[in-house]
Amino acid sequence: MFQESFKYYKARDPPPSFENVIDTDKDGAGLDCRLQNYSSTAGNNATFPGLLDSSSWRIFELKNRPGLIIIKNPFTKHSQRYWMTRCICDYPKHPNHTNLPDAIVDKYALRSAREQFDWWATAATIEDPADRRKLLKALRWTTLGYHYDWTNKVYDESARNAFPDDLAALCRHFAQVLGYVRFRPEAAIVNYYPVGSTLAGHTDHSEKNLEAPLFSFRYWL
């Protein structure tokens, strides 16, 4: 099912129809058939810097997939810029892990200074547009906290750094609003999508605690 849907929506000739895609901006009968309103358990005054008051959130749950919850953008414009800046300027730095190969890092940094390599700042100094685009498009993911082992599909205690405090606080707030009062974030994967790139359908099943929520925040530049 994943592969068929992925190929269909990725197609460009002919382009796909989006008539069956859930659009939370539309409150028609079709939307009502697939989504139901989700009630917050945190009351009507749960606040967090950079977020709208939770009483104004539009929260939906997919009817045929209980547990799949959609929150229509609760971020302020200023907060959206803050988190995009964190993802682009801060998170790709050491000690976080990225997919950037040594060959690319070595082109712009001495081997003895790899830990100081700054992907975003370096790209800003590259004069040749083609080289700059190549470096920018090379970054596809950054891992925070527990660093995911992509080969063995596991998280390991030996590959772990401190999880960002601000991101941890943000995740705990969302968890509280949704009723997960004891949630503690420990790992994150930041994915980067250059224009024209895609991510095929997949399932996440490397997490040991299947009772804890898995949050997915999406931003567009």
The edge-to-edge listing of strands for the beta sheet with 187-191 is: 97-98, 141-145, 187-191
Q: Is 205 annotated as a binding residue?
A: no
Question: In the structure encoding, which two tokens stand for residue 60, read together?
Answer: 């939906």
Q: According to the annotation, is 118 in a ligand binding site?
A: no
Pairing of strands 59-62, 187-191: unpaired
CA-CA distance, 80 to 87, in Å (whole number)?
Answer: 11
Whether residue 95 is preceded by a cis peptide bond, meaning omega within 30 degrees of 0, is yes
How deeply is 108 buried, as exposed, middle or buried, from its count of CB atoms within 10 A (0-12, 13-18, 19+)? middle
Q: What type of residue sits at position 135?
A: L
Q: If you write DSSP's letter for every residue of 66-100 in order, what string do you get?
A: TT-EEE---B-HHHHHHHHHIIIIITTSTTSEE--
Give the integer Cα–Cα distance in Å for 28 and 5. 23
For the chain, percent helix, then strand, then coil, each to nearest 5?
35, 15, 55
Annotated binding site for Fe cation: 202, 204
Annotated binding site: 202, 204
